[in-house]
Chains A and B, each alone.
Chain A
Amino acid sequence: MSPAQLPSRGDYFKQWRGGGKVCAVFPAQYPKELLWAHGVLPMEVWDPPLAPARAQGHLQPYICSVVRQGLELLLAGGMDEVGAILFPHTCDSLQNLASLVADYLEPPAPSLFFYNPKAPFAAAAKGFYVSQLQALEEDLTLIFGPAPEGAMEQALEWSRRLSELYAQAYARRAAGELGVGAEEFYRLLRAGEYLHPRDYIPLLEAWLNEAPAQGGPKGQGIIISGVLPSPPDLMETLDGLDFRVVHDDLISMSRRLLYPPPGQGDPLEALAESFLAMPPCSTRGSSLSERLEWLKGLAQSGGAQGVVFSVVKFCEPELFDLPELRRGLKEAGLPSLVLEVDVNQEVGGQAATRLEAFGEMLS
């Protein structure tokens, strides 16, 4: 199994449409298991490769490119065939985008909302999260029909298996036993944004079985932190400069993929526990000390020498945490570099030069 064999988003969507239901999902954390249980394919919308045109008329220039690209996809007709659009509560911009779409823009499908409680979590957060799951469950039933008997248990099984596979992929990479570069690693992991677990789990298993133990980049070990592994040429640049990405702290990746698998009790309670125990994230309101300890731990486990922050321009949750994280990392002997990116806009030569200089500094 090689990344080249992965079906493209467009092809997979067309093929799925015939037999199923689709829900477009905006970033970041949401209970995908509920959607699977209802036979719904979540199609996550992070960075669709479109030239921003229509979205400009609705958004000020100081709104991030993730929101802009997502709205562009919707306005360009990219969500015309979905059964629903789900907006998890992630940040102020996505909060208002959800309301803008639902209240002012006559979307092609009903809007669903999901409020993720924010840290520091009150004792009441778990019960509240369960109430949110119940409300979403009701909405999904209305739109897509009830989940068949046993479907929730099956969804949780998929979730547990995926959690194991992600953990395996990250652990092997950190131990230097996964001989692939950042570009391939993230291409495989990002396929989970649109493939159904029935198809995705065997693909991931095959990839992990077949991926060589050796042969990846050999240079300086780094962690990448930020929102998502995009723009794509950033990953290629890192590989080209022979950086070993030993771990990541990306919102779209480890901060939600390395979730503690849901336990065996009541499914909704299990999902709530899983959510509350996820790695720290700016969008969940995690404290800076928690985030700092987490980053230091990641660096230690993979032997990283530095951290590259790839921050989406205008992303408040990430930008606010940055100075204190950098200060704490520096005190721990971990230098860092900040790249401000727009998703889908190539990082270009200047970023490559800065990365090169950063690599030299680490050596």
Chain B
Amino acid sequence: MSLSAKARMQFMKDLGFPAMLSLAKATKGKRKPRKANPDFGPPLRCATRLKEIMTRHYYLSRFAPGARPVAWVTSGAPVELLRAFDFYTIYPENHGALCGAQKMGPELCAAAEDEGYSPDLCSYARVDLGHFFSGKTPAGKLPKPDILFCSNNICQTVVYWYKVLAHRLGIPLLMFDTPFNYGEITEANIAYMKDQILEMIPVLEKASGKAFDMERFLRLAELSKSASQLWGQCLETMQARPAPMTIFDAFVHLAPVVSLRGLPVARNYYEILLAELTDRVERGIGAITNEKKRLMWDNIAVWYKVRDFSELFAARGMNFVAATYTNAWAETIQHLDMSHPWESLAKTYSLVILNNNLEHRLGLMEKMVREYAVDGLVVHSARSCKPYSLGQYDLKRLLSQRLGIPAVVIEADITDYRFFSEEQALTRLEAFFESLEAA
């Protein structure tokens, strides 16, 4: 690491970024505010803070090379380990969501396809590879990584994807192999994961030039835990009627717990978000003005349709109050126990929804339907994501049968809207609205 790079990064952090932000605020002040949609309650005040945090994160990342070791990380990897070595972390999946929301999915996917990547592959991977080949990104510029850190607790896809990056960049790939839980988690699985974590420590020491400090690790793990717990509490506020935010808000407010977990900024952010949501609950302020029906979403967001869908549902007095996706960064954190850090870290990361059998998912969804008083279920069959999608037809059937709630499957993709038929989705949703209104 070079001293001048460190100084430059510090300067940008202390002066450059705040100056840029003030300038942006001054310009924004002159813009005409958007007309409020009467179907929605007042917007969350925290949204401005969220935007600042994420902009700062991406902006400062440009100055990280040379100042801090840089890692590209999958959303389900035990990032607490990297935090202890002061890695600047970039989450390609979060970047993929950003590109998707900015409707850049097809363009970046096509850049990967031009290099031979099949349009049938996960579009987060294609967006990332497309960005890698073309340099295009709405985030300005992403820093090149020194290492790649990946866990297959969300899918095997990330392993194939990160292998390509490791090969192209000639850098090490650290893989945390989390055996799929076909049933209950076993002691053998935990022992295997714990041994892998211990094996990674010397590798990370070498890559970062820093010695491992257990106390620091525990402190950061505690920060990570509290951010996830606070996130979970934020989601729980949606059990109130009317719910103070929608899942479409949550898809966006999820970014810090994914990308900045283990840093004070994430914990602090969720403290203020929770305070705002609690206040809204106390004052009876709903995310939508006329909450008649409460829905649950299954699978990752359709990023290029978040606004359209939120308006479509809000106009009918339907609010999404729960999602298996947003829940994923809170559901297992109770396992993290600083008195047994390695075993508990293994459990926390192994027991996430996508590394668990479908019976577990069904049980979790049944519980959520009850706790959040859900009236209907929307299942996004995401072409990109086989581990999230394979099994959904039966999941929908069983959940409808067991709980007697209407459910619909819409075929779409997370970022690549070339695979989305709006017409077909709307036809299915119309039928769903009818059955829901009749229920």
Q: Are A314 and B163 in contact (CB under 8 A)?
A: no
Q: Does B334 contact A (CB under 8 A)?
A: no
Instruction: State which size class the interface on B falls in.
Output: 35 or more
Q: Does B400 contact A (CB under 8 A)?
A: no
Q: Are B164 and A92 in contact (CB under 8 A)?
A: no
Q: Are A100 and B196 in contact (CB under 8 A)?
A: no
Q: Does A141 contact B (CB under 8 A)?
A: no
CA distance A128 to B10 in the complex (A): 45
Q: Does B177 contact A (CB under 8 A)?
A: yes
Selected from A132, A316, A319, the residue in CB contact (under 8 A) with B156 is: A316
12 contacts between A and B (CB under 8 A): A59-B393, A62-B386, A99-B357, A102-B359, A117-B179, A123-B195, A124-B195, A127-B191, A131-B192, A283-B156, A320-B163, A321-B160
A125, A313, A323 — most chain B CB neighbours (10 Å)? A323
- Give the shortest distance, in Å, between A137 (CB) and chain B (any CB): 13
- Classify the secondary structure of A's interface with B: helix
List chain B positions with a Cβ less than 8 A from chain A. Answer: 115-118, 120-122, 125, 152, 155-157, 159-161, 163-164, 166-168, 173, 175, 177, 179-180, 182-183, 186, 188-189, 191-192, 195-196, 199, 357-359, 362, 381, 383, 386-387, 389-395, 398, 411
Q: Which residues of A contact B164 (CB under 8 A)?
A: 288, 320-321, 323-324
Q: Which residues of A contact B177 (CB under 8 A)?
A: 117-118, 122, 125
Q: Are B179 and A115 in contact (CB under 8 A)?
A: yes
Q: A92-B156, A115-B179, A122-B196 are in contact. Are A285 and B393 (CB under 8 A)?
A: no
Q: Does A95 contact B (CB under 8 A)?
A: yes
- Give the shortest distance, in Å, between A290 (CB) and chain B (any CB): 10
Q: Which residues of B contact A97 (CB under 8 A)?
A: 390
Q: Which residues of B contact A179 (CB under 8 A)?
A: none
Q: Which residues of B contact A285 (CB under 8 A)?
A: 152, 156, 159-160, 163, 175
Q: Which residues of A contact B392 (CB under 8 A)?
A: 60
Q: A100-B358, A322-B116 are in contact. Are A317 and B156 (CB under 8 A)?
A: yes
Closest to A130 in B: B188
CA distance A115 to B359 in the complex (A): 18
Q: Does A79 contact B (CB under 8 A)?
A: no
Q: Which residues of B contact A282 (CB under 8 A)?
A: 160
Q: Does A120 contact B (CB under 8 A)?
A: yes
Q: A103-B357, A285-B175 are in contact. Are A320 and B161 (CB under 8 A)?
A: yes
Q: Does A10 contact B (CB under 8 A)?
A: no
- Give the shortest distance, in Å, between A251 (CB) and chain B (any CB): 14
Q: Are B163 and A287 in contact (CB under 8 A)?
A: yes
Q: Are B155 and A57 in contact (CB under 8 A)?
A: no
Q: Which residues of A contact B387 (CB under 8 A)?
A: 92, 95-96
Q: A103-B358, A115-B180, A323-B115 are in contact. Are A128 and B121 (CB under 8 A)?
A: no
Q: Does A300 contact B (CB under 8 A)?
A: no
CA distance A319 to B186 in the complex (A): 32
CA distance A29 to B383 in the complex (A): 27
Instruction: State which size class the interface on A falls in.
Output: 35 or more
Q: Are A122 and B195 in contact (CB under 8 A)?
A: yes
B163, B392, B411 — most chain A CB neighbours (10 Å)? B163
Closest to B196 in A: A122
Q: A92-B390, A100-B390, A322-B116 are in contact. Are A316 and B157 (CB under 8 A)?
A: yes
CA distance A327 to B163 in the complex (A): 15
Q: Does A241 contact B (CB under 8 A)?
A: no
Interface 1/0 per residue, A124-150 and B, CB below 8 Å? 110110011001000000000000000
CA distance A125 to B357 in the complex (A): 22
Q: Are B192 and A320 in contact (CB under 8 A)?
A: no
Q: A117-B192, A320-B163 are in contact. Are A60 and B390 (CB under 8 A)?
A: yes
* 18 new A-B contacts at CB < 8 Å, known A62-B389, A128-B189: A57-B393, A60-B392, A92-B157, A92-B390, A95-B156, A100-B358, A115-B179, A115-B189, A122-B196, A128-B188, A128-B192, A131-B192, A132-B188, A135-B186, A288-B163, A320-B161, A326-B116, A327-B116
Selected from A100, A125, A316, A322, the residue in CB contact (under 8 A) with B394 is: A100
CA distance A236 to B392 in the complex (A): 38
Closest to B152 in A: A118
Selected from A99, A127, A317, A321, the residue in CB contact (under 8 A) with B391 is: A99
CA distance A120 to B160 in the complex (A): 12
- Give the shortest distance, in Å, between B358 (CB) and chain A (any CB): 4
The total of interchain contacts (Cβ-Cβ below 8 angstroms) comes to 166
CA distance A63 to B120 in the complex (A): 10
Selected from A57, A58, A124, A323, the residue in CB contact (under 8 A) with B116 is: A323
CA distance A62 to B179 in the complex (A): 25
- Give the shortest distance, in Å, between A57 (CB) and chain B (any CB): 7
Q: Does A46 contact B (CB under 8 A)?
A: no
Selected from B160, B183, B386, the residue in CB contact (under 8 A) with A63 is: B386
Q: Are A102 and B357 in contact (CB under 8 A)?
A: yes
- Give the shortest distance, in Å, between A122 (CB) and chain B (any CB): 5
Q: Which residues of A contact B358 (CB under 8 A)?
A: 96, 99-100, 103-104
Selected from A57, A89, A103, A320, the residue in CB contact (under 8 A) with B160 is: A320
Selected from B117, B152, B159, B391, the residue in CB contact (under 8 A) with A323 is: B117
Q: A58-B394, A96-B358, A131-B188 are in contact. Are A288 and B167 (CB under 8 A)?
A: yes
Q: Are A96 and B386 in contact (CB under 8 A)?
A: yes
Q: Are B120 and A313 in contact (CB under 8 A)?
A: yes
CA distance A118 to B196 in the complex (A): 12
Q: Does A289 contact B (CB under 8 A)?
A: yes
Q: Does A91 contact B (CB under 8 A)?
A: yes
Name the interface residues of A317-343: CB closer than 8 Å to any CB of B.
317, 319-324, 326-327
Q: A124-B196, A128-B192 are in contact. Are A89 and B157 (CB under 8 A)?
A: no
B358, B383, B398 — most chain A CB neighbours (10 Å)? B358
Q: Does A93 contact B (CB under 8 A)?
A: yes
CA distance A287 to B168 in the complex (A): 11
Q: A96-B387, A285-B159 are in contact. Are A124 and B199 (CB under 8 A)?
A: yes
Q: A60-B390, A96-B390, A105-B394 are in contact. Are A127 and B167 (CB under 8 A)?
A: no
Q: Which residues of B contact A323 (CB under 8 A)?
A: 115-117, 164
Q: Which residues of B contact A117 (CB under 8 A)?
A: 177, 179, 192
Q: Which residues of A contact B189 (CB under 8 A)?
A: 115, 128
Selected from B156, B160, B166, B182, the residue in CB contact (under 8 A) with A98 is: B182
- Give the shortest distance, in Å, between B8 (CB) and chain A (any CB): 34
CA distance A60 to B387 in the complex (A): 12
